[in-house]
Amino acid sequence: MKVAKTIDDIRRLVADARVGGAGLVGLVPTMGALHEGHFSLIDAAAGECDFVVVSIFVNPTQFAPNEDYRSYPRPVKNDLSGCESHGVGAVFAPSAGEMYPDGFAAAVSVSGLTETMEGNCRLGHFGGVCTVVAKLFNIVGPDVAYFGAKDYQQAAVIRKMVADLDMPLRIAVCPTVREADGLAMSSRNAYLDDDERTQSPVLYESLQLAERLIREGERNAASVIESVRSLLADNAPLGKADYVAIVDPDNLAAVEEIKGDVVVALAVKFPSARLIDNMRVDVPKANR
């Protein structure tokens, strides 16, 4: 496994791999502090592609000034050995200066899909995400890029960017990997103190409650949201719900009456970490 810190170096490594016969190149963009969720994307890439690139870059432009850019975990050695043991061909780990040299002035944005949920709570976040992901696609030139369903809105926004800008690659979205108690794995889980960690599985439990209510026939989204909010308030008193939303899986528009498949998404702010999770609930045609 090779490690590239510059754009020139990773381009050369990918070009060499292609000359060496790699037909399909896969890219897994990450901010590091890798866990089993990330490794599931890497394994999916390794299963489908001939050469896998993992980017590790804590992207400053997707953090708001009050967020955790400085304190975000950066366990570089662990990350590299994890990549090596999962069959990664090359890691691209640039500095902020390499990605954003003095005078950098471009931006990629996607409207509509970004104006709800995470986009409402984290102003500027998706502009930072789209710009860095577009750069990574241009730098690495992958055939397939892998994202997690854990960040449902992010995956939808990236898909839209790729479709609207005719970027020549496929986006693969992999299922959310969870701890045994249901908490979605996240690099930020390490911030939680013991009491917060004890309360945190309620995010998943509340998604399961929403799923059960919808499957049992509840069609009023507001009523499902109210039940979810009260479970969160009862079982995670240290957390505060930023939002609980029931949205159309494709355009992310808020749903009032549940007539088809929906995504239930939520964000809960604990004192030490803000957590997000979501679940797609398929409503069989016969039950619509």
So which residues are the catalytic ones?
38
199 binds ligand AMP (CB under 6 A): no
> Which of 90, 185, 224, 264 is the binder for ligand AMP (CB under 6 A)?
185
Q: How far is the CB of 81 from ligand AMP (least distance, A)?
A: 17
Q: How far is the CB of 13 from ligand AMP (least distance, A)?
A: 21
> Which of 55, 116, 187, 278 is the binder for ligand AMP (CB under 6 A)?
187
Nearer to ligand AMP, 18 or 74 (CB): 74
Counting Cβ atoms within 10 Å, is residue 103 exposed (0-12), middle (13-18) or buried (19+)? exposed
Number of residues that bind ligand AMP (CB under 6 A): 17
Nearer to ligand AMP, 116 or 186 (CB): 186
Q: What burial letters (b/e) apply to 247-264, b meaning 16+ CB within 10 Å?
A: beeeebeebeebeebbbb
| Placement of tokens 């803000």 in the chain | 274
Q: How far is the CB of 20 from ligand AMP (least distance, A)?
A: 27
37 binds ligand AMP (CB under 6 A): yes
Q: How far is the CB of 28 from ligand AMP (least distance, A)?
A: 7
**DSSP of 217-268:** T--BHHHHHHHHHHHHHHH-TT-EEEEEEEE-TTT-PBPSB--S-EEEEEEE
Q: Which of residues 136-175 bind ligand AMP (CB under 6 A)?
A: 147-148, 150-151, 174
| Placement of tokens 């750069």 in the chain | 135
Report the 3 state secondary structure along 118-147. HHHHCCCHHHHHHHHHHHHHHHHCCCEEEE
> Which of 114, 186, 199, 206 is the binder for ligand AMP (CB under 6 A)?
186
Distance of CA 90 to the CA centre of its chain: 21
8 A C-beta contact, residue 136 and residue 161: no
> Which of 4, 38, 83, 201 is the binder for ligand AMP (CB under 6 A)?
38
Residues that bind ligand AMP (CB under 6 A): 30-31, 37-38, 40-41, 147-148, 150-151, 174, 176-177, 184-187
